[in-house]
A and B are shown apart, each in its own frame.
Chain A
Amino acid sequence: MTDLLTNWADWLPQLLKGLGISLQLTGFALALGLPLGLVLALASSARGPALRWPAIALVEIGRGAPALVVLQMVYYGLPSAGLNLSAFLSGAIALALTTAAYTSEILRAGINAVPQGEVEAGQALGMTRQDILRFVVIPQGVIFAVPALMGFAILIFQATALTFTIAIPELLARAYRIGAATYLYLDVLILAGLVYLAVTIPFGWLVNRAARRLGSHLG
Chain B
Amino acid sequence: MLDTFLALLHGVPVSLAVTGLAFALGAVLGVPLVLMRRAGHWLPRLLARIYIEIARGIPPVVWLFIIFFGLGSGIVTLTPFQAASLGMGLISAAYLAEIYRGGFLTLPAGQDAAAVALGMTRLDRLRFVLAPQVLRVSIPPMATFLVSLLKDTTVASTIGVRDVMMLVTQQAQAAGGGFAPFISAAVLYILLSIPVALLARKMDARLRARTSR
By a beta-carbon cutoff of 8 Å, the part of chain A in contact with chain B is: 60-61, 64-70, 72-73, 76-77, 79-81, 158-159, 161-162, 164-165, 172, 175-176, 179, 183-187, 189-190, 192-193, 196-197, 200-201, 204
Judge whether B182 and A158 touch: CB under 8 Å: no
- Which residues of B sit under 8 angstroms from A67, Cβ to Cβ? 151, 154
Within 8 A of A (CB), among B151-187: 151-152, 154-155, 157-158, 165, 168-169, 172, 176-179, 182-183, 185-186
Q: Are A193 and B58 in touch, CB under 8 angstroms?
A: yes
- Note all chain A residues with C-beta closer than 8 A to B185: 65-66, 69
B71 near A172: Cβ-Cβ < 8 Å: no
Task: Give min CB distance, B161 to chain A, whole Å.
Answer: 13
- Extra contacts, 5 of them, besides A68-B157, A69-B154, A72-B168 (Cβ < 8 A), are A80-B179, A158-B60, A186-B66, A193-B62, A197-B58
Task: Give the distance in Å from the alpha carbon of A102 to the alpha carbon of B57 in the complex.
Answer: 19
Given A69-B165, A189-B65, A196:B59 Cβ within 8 A: yes
* Distance, CA A60 to CA B58, complexed state (A): 26
B73 close to A (CB within 8 Å): yes
CB distance from A103 to the nearest CB of B (A): 15
Report how far A66 CA is from B165 CA in the complex, Å: 9
Is there an interface contact between B71 and A64, defined as CB atoms closer than 8 Å? no
In the assembled complex, the Cα of A9 lies from the Cα of B177 at a distance in Å of 42
B194 smallest CB distance to A (angstroms):
9
What is the total number of residues of chain B having a CB less than 8 Å from a CB of chain A? 39
Is B4 an interface residue when CB atoms closer than 8 A count as contact?
no
Flag if B186 contacts A200 (CB, 8 Å).
no
Q: What's the minimum C-beta distance from A96 to chain B, rounded to whole angstroms?
A: 17
Contacts of B58 in A (CB 8 A): 158, 193, 196-197, 200
Known: A65-B190, A159-B59, A172-B62. A72 touches B70 (CB 8 A): no
Tell whether, in the assembled complex, residue B75 and residue A66 are in contact, meaning their CB atoms are under 8 Å apart.
Answer: no
B69 and A189 within 8 A (CB): yes
Contact residues in A for B63 (Cβ distance below 8 Å) = 193
* Inter-subunit contact A179/B177 (CB<8 Å): no
Q: How far is the CA of A161 from the CA of B53 in the complex (A)?
A: 18
Query: Within 8 Å of chain A (Cβ to Cβ): is B54?
Result: yes
Tell me the complex Cα distance, A25–B190, Å.
Answer: 26
Q: Are B182 and A73 within 8 A (Cβ)?
A: yes
Beyond A80-B177, A186-B73, is A66–B154 a contact (Cβ under 8 Å)? yes
Contact with A along B109-137 (1 / 0, CB 8 A): 00000000000000000000000000000
Q: Which of B191-212 touch A at CB < 8 Å? A: 193
Ordered by A's residue number, 19 sampled pairs between the chains whose C-beta atoms are within 8 Å are A65-B189, A66-B152, A66-B154, A66-B185, A67-B154, A72-B182, A73-B179, A73-B186, A77-B177, A80-B179, A161-B59, A162-B155, A176-B65, A179-B70, A189-B62, A193-B54, A200-B56, A200-B57, A201-B53
- Which B residue's beta carbon lies closest to that of A203? B57
B72 within 8 A of A: yes
Say whether B182 contacts A185, CB under 8 Å. no
B186: contacting residue among A65, A165, A185, CB under 8 A: A65
Q: Counting CB contacts under 8 A, is B27 at the interface?
A: no
> Are A172's CB and B61's CB within 8 A?
yes
Q: Is the CB of A196 within 8 A of B57?
A: yes
- Cβ of A69: which chain B residues have Cβ within 8 Å of it? 154, 165, 168, 182, 185-186, 189
Encoded as 1 (CB less than 8 Å from any A CB) or 0, chain B from 19 to 41 comes to 00000000000000000000000
For A190, give its contact among B61, B70, B72 (CB under 8 Å).
Answer: B70
CB-nearest residue of chain A to B63: A193
The distance in angstroms between the C-alpha atoms of A185 and B73, with both chains bound, is 7
Question: A76, A159, A189: which contacts B66 (Cβ < 8 A)?
Answer: A189
Query: Which residues on the B side are within 8 Å of A66 (C-beta)?
Result: 151-152, 154, 165, 185-186, 189
In the assembly, what is the distance between CA of A176 and CA of B185, in Å? 27
